[in-house]
C-alpha cells in the first residue's frame, strides 16, 4: 500500500513552483505594484479583487475571501484532491511524487539542507560582487566589462561579480569556526568547490566574470563564469545540483520580469553577455539558455510569461541547424495563441556585437523581420527539394507532415495543413488523413512501450490538520490579536524568538485561540516554515478563511526588525490589557465589600491603585 506524500517533497514543490506562473496559466494576471491582480475565478465580479503575492507565494480574494498557496489554488480551481494537486504541480516541475512515508527527522534535515544551499549560494554571490569592488586584480575584470560597454548600474542589477585568480580564493573566504566544515560541504554540494582525489578542495570558478543565475523568485541557484584569459571553456556553468537544473532555468528571466510589467515578447539569445549587453541598450526582455539546447521546459516557462517568443541565432549554417532543433522542440508547445519567430542576424554578428555597433533601433528592426515558425517549418522541410516537380512537392509533404502532426490540435495546426495544401496542390482532406495515420502509428507504439512499464496508480493519503466544527470568521478588523497573527504568518521566525505571554491562555476569544494554534504549529515544526506552507496547512479547514484574511488584509512591515518590534509591542500591549482587566475586576469585587471586612492586604491593594472610596460599614 502506498504511503503518504512526504512533507519534504510538498515543501520542495512549493519552493520550486512560482505561484504567479501557476495561476497565470489559468487566470490572466496583471502586475499591480508588487503584487498581481485579476478578476476572481471563484466568484463573479467586474472589478479585480483577486491578488497574488509573489514574495510570500500566496493568493487572496478581497471579495470572497478565497486564499491559499499554489497547491490550494489547484485544488479549488481544478476541483482536485490534495494528492492530485501535488501530482499536477510535480509534473510541471518535472518531478516524480514519492510514495513512501517520510521520516519527520529526515524531512527536517532535507528542508534544512535545501535552505542551506540557497543561503550558501547567496553568500557566494555577495563574495564575488565584493571582489569586483575590492580585490587587487579587480581592474582586469572592470576593464573587460567596460570594453563590453556595461555600466555599473547594469552590473549591479544583474549581481555581476568576479572570481579572482587562484585555486582557493573562495575556499579561504569561508570563516574559520565550527560551521566551516558544513559550509565547505554545502559549497561542494552546490558546485562551487571541487573535491580532489586527495580529499582537498579547489574553487570551480577562477579568474572569471561571474553571472549569478536566479530562479523565478530571485534566489541565486547557480553561477556562470566567463573566462578572462585563454583558459577553456570560454563559459563555465555550475553543475546540476538539488536546486539547479540547466534544462529548466533561463538566465535573465527574473530580471526581465522585474523590468517589465508586461512582456510583449521574450527574446531568447545564446549567452549571458548577450542578455546584459541588450539591457545596456534598453532591450530588457532577453533570456539565455545555460549552455544547453532549448528544452520543452524552457519554452513552457517562457510562455507562462508571454505569448510570443523570438529566438535569435547567428546567420551561418550552425545557426540554421540550431534553429531547426528549436523548431522540433517547440512544435508540441504551439497551442493556439502562442507565437515563435526566428531571428537570424547577419553573418559574423551576435546580439552583443550587433546592438553595440548598430544600436537598439536597428536591432528592433531585425526583430520585426524575424521569420515565423510556420515559414521556417516549410523552409526546413523543403531544403534541397525542387518544388517545380510533383515529386518534389510529394517529398515536401513527406517531410512536413510528421512535423505538423506534432502540433497540438487547434486552429494553428489546421492553418499549417492548409498552407501545405496550397504549396503542394494536394487535397487538404488527404493531408489530414495522412496526419491521422502518423498519429495512430505513434499512439500504437507508445501504447506498446507503456504497457510494459505502467503500474496502477495508488491513492495517496496525506495528513490533514484537525477540522474544527465552528467556522472562524475573524481577521477582517485589525485588532491586536489579528495583527499578531498577521505578523506571525509573514514572519514565522518570530515564533522561534518570542513566546506568547501566559495571559493569552486566559482569553477565550476565537482570535486568541487561533493565535495559540498558529504559534504552537510553527514551534512544532523545528524548522523554518513559510507563509505559503502555513496557509497550505490549514487550507480547507475552518481556520483557513480567518488566516487568509489576517495574511492579506493588513499590510505588514517589509523589514523583519520592524516587524519584530511591532510583535513585541503587541504582546506587551496584550499583557497590559489583561492586567488592566484583572485589576478592574479586583477593584469591582473589593468595592462591593464593607471596609471592615477587608484584609490589610486588600486595603493596601486599593491604596496602591488609588481607589478613593469603598463602601462604609453598614
From residue 99, give the alpha-carbon distance in Å to each of 422, 433, 458.
52, 42, 9
Q: What's residue 462's pLDDT?
A: 34
The verdict on residue 581 lying in a domain is: yes
> What single-letter DSSP state applies at residue 617?
P
Q: Are residues 508 and 544 in the same domain?
A: yes
Distance (Å, whole) CA 295 – CA 303: 13
Q: Are residues 258 and 352 in the same domain?
A: yes
Q: Are residues 355 and 414 in the same domain?
A: no
Q: Are residues 402 and 298 in the same domain?
A: no
Query: What are the residues whose beta carbons fall under 8 Å from the beta carbon of 15, sequence distance 6 or more?
Result: 114
CA atoms within 13 A on the CB side of 135: 23
Distance (Å, whole) CA 462 – CA 98: 12
- Say how far residue 234 (Cα) sits from the centre of its chain: 30
The verdict on residue 169 lying in a domain is: yes
CATH of the domain at 51: 3.90.580.10
The verdict on residue 601 lying in a domain is: no
Domain count, the chain: 5
Distance (Å, whole) CA 32 – CA 601: 62
CATH of the domain at 492: 1.10.860.10
Q: Are residues 375 and 489 in the same domain?
A: no
Distance (Å, whole) CA 128 – CA 205: 10
Residue with the three cell numbers 523543403 = 382
Q: What's residue 424's pLDDT?
A: 95
Domain residues for 404?
386-443
Whether the predicted pLDDT of 102 surpasses 90: no
**Structure confidence by residue, pLDDT tens digits, 563-591:** 899 899 889 888 888 888 777 777 776 67
With cut-offs at 50, 70 and 90, classify the pLDDT of residue 459.
very low
**Structure confidence by residue, pLDDT tens digits, 514-573:** 998 898 888 887 677 888 888 888 877 768 878 888 888 888 888 888 889 989 988 988
With cut-offs at 50, 70 and 90, classify the pLDDT of residue 174.
very high
- Average of per-residue pLDDT values in the chain: 84
Q: Are residues 254 and 194 in the same domain?
A: no
Do residues 397 and 431 touch, judged by C-beta distance below 8 A? yes
Last residue of a domain, one of 381, 400, 435: 381
The verdict on residue 459 lying in a domain is: no
Q: Which neighbouring-strand residues pair with 61?
A: 50
Answer yes or no: pTM beyond 0.75: no
Q: What's residue 606's pLDDT?
A: 64
Q: Are residues 364 and 407 in the same domain?
A: no
Q: Are residues 437 and 341 in the same domain?
A: no
Last residue of a domain, one of 348, 381, 414: 381
Q: Are residues 192 and 297 in the same domain?
A: no
Q: Are residues 400 and 495 in the same domain?
A: no
Last residue of a domain, one of 203, 218, 237: 237
Q: Are residues 264 and 372 in the same domain?
A: yes
* Three-state SS at 148: coil
Q: Are residues 330 and 290 in the same domain?
A: yes
Amino acid at each position: 500500500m502506498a504511503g503518504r506524500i512526504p512533507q519534504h517533497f510538498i515543501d520542495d514543490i512549493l519552493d520550486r513552483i512560482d505561484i504567479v506562473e501557476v495561476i497565470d496559466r489559468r487566470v490572466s494576471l496583471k502586475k499591480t505594484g508588487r503584487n498581481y491582480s485579476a478578476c476572481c475565478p471563484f466568484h463573479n465580479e467586474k472589478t479585480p479583487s483577486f491578488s497574488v503575492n509573489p514574495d510570500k507565494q500566496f493568493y487572496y480574494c478581497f471579495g470572497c475571501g478565497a486564499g491559499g498557496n499554489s497547491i490550494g489554488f489547484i485544488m479549488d480551481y481544478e476541483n482536485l484532491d490534495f494528492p492530485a494537486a501535488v501530482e499536477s504541480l510535480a509534473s510541471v516541475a518535472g518531478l516524480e511524487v514519492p510514495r513512501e512515508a517520510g521520516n519527520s527527522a529526515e524531512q527536517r534535515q532535507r528542508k534544512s539542507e535545501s535552505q542551506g544551499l540557497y543561503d550558501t549560494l547567496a553568500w557566494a554571490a555577495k563574495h564575488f560582487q565584493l571582489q569586483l569592488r575590492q580585490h587587487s586584480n579587480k581592474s582586469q575584470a572592470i576593464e573587460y566589462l567596460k570594453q563590453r560597454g556595461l555600466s555599473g548600474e547594469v552590473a549591479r542589477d544583474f549581481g555581476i561579480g568576479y572570481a579572482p585568480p587562484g585555486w582557493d580564493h573562495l575556499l579561504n573566504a569561508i570563516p574559520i569556526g565550527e560551521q566551516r566544515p558544513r559550509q565547505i560541504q554545502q559549497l561542494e554540494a552546490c558546485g562551487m568547490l571541487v573535491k580532489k582525489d586527495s580529499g582537498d578542495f579547489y574553487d570551480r570558478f577562477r579568474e572569471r566574470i561571474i553571472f549569478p543565475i536566479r530562479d523565478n523568485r530571485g534566489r541565486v541557484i547557480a553561477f556562470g563564469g566567463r573566462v578572462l584569459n585563454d583558459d577553456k571553456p570560454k563559459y563555465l556553468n555550475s553543475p546540476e545540483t538539488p536546486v539547479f537544473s540547466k534544462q529548466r532555468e533561463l538566465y535573465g528571466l527574473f530580471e526581465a520580469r522585474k523590468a517589465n510589467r508586461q512582456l510583449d515578447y521574450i527574446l531568447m539569445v545564446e549567452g549571458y553577455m548577450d542578455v546584459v549587453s541588450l539591457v545596456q541598450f534598453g532591450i530588457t526582455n532577453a533570456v539565455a539558455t545555460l549552455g544547453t539546447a532549448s528544452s520543452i521546459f524552457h519554452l513552457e516557462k517562457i510562455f507562462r510569461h508571454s505569448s510570443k517568443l523570438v529566438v535569435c541565432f547567428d546567420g551561418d549554417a550552425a545557426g540554421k541547424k540550431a534553429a531547426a532543433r528549436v523548431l522540433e522542440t517547440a512544435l508540441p508547445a504551439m497551442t493556439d495563441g502562442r507565437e515563435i519567430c526566428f531571428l537570424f542576424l547577419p553573418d559574423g554578428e551576435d546580439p552583443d556585437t550587433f546592438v553595440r555597433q548598430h544600436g537598439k533601433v536597428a536591432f528592433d528592426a531585425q526583430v520585426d523581420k524575424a521569420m515565423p515558425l510556420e515559414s521556417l517549418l516549410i523552409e526546413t522541410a523543403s531544403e534541397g527539394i525542387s518544388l517545380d516537380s510533383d515529386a518534389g512537392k510529394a517529398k515536401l509533404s513527406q517531410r512536413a507532415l510528421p512535423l505538423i502532426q506534432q502540433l497540438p490540435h487547434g486552429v494553428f495546426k489546421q492553418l499549417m495543413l492548409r498552407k501545405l495544401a496550397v504549396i503542394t496542390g494536394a487535397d487538404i482532406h488527404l493531408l489530414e488523413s495522412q496526419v491521422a495515420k502518423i498519429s495512430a502509428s505513434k499512439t500504437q507504439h507508445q501504447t506498446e512501450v507503456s504497457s510494459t512499464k505502467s503500474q496502477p496508480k495508488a491513492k495517496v493519503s496525506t495528513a490533514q490538520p484537525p477540522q474544527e466544527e465552528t467556522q472562524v470568521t475573524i481577521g477582517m478588523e485589525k485588532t491586536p490579536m489579528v495583527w499578531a497573527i498577521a505578523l506571525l504568518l509573514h514572519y514565522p521566525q518570530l515564533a522561534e524568538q518570542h513566546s506568547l505571554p501566559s495571559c493569552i491562555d486566559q482569553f477565550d476569544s476565537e482570535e486568541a485561540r487561533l493565535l495559540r494554534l498558529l504559534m504552537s504549529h510553527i514551534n512544532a515544526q523545528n524548522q523554518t516554515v513559510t507563509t505559503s506552507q502555513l496557509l497550505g496547512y490549514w487550507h480547507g479547514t475552518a481556520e483557513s478563511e480567518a488566516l487568509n484574511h489576517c495574511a492579506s488584509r493588513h499590510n505588514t512591515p517589509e523589514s523583519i526588525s520592524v516587524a519584530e518590534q511591532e510583535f513585541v509591542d503587541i504582546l506587551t500591549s496584550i499583557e497590559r490589557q489583561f492586567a488592566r482587566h484583572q485589576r478592574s475586576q479586583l477593584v469591582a469585587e473589593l468595592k462591593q465589600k464593607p471596609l471592615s471586612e477587608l484584609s490589610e492586604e486588600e486595603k493596601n491593594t486599593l491604596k496602591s491603585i488609588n481607589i478613593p472610596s469603598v463602601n462604609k460599614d453598614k
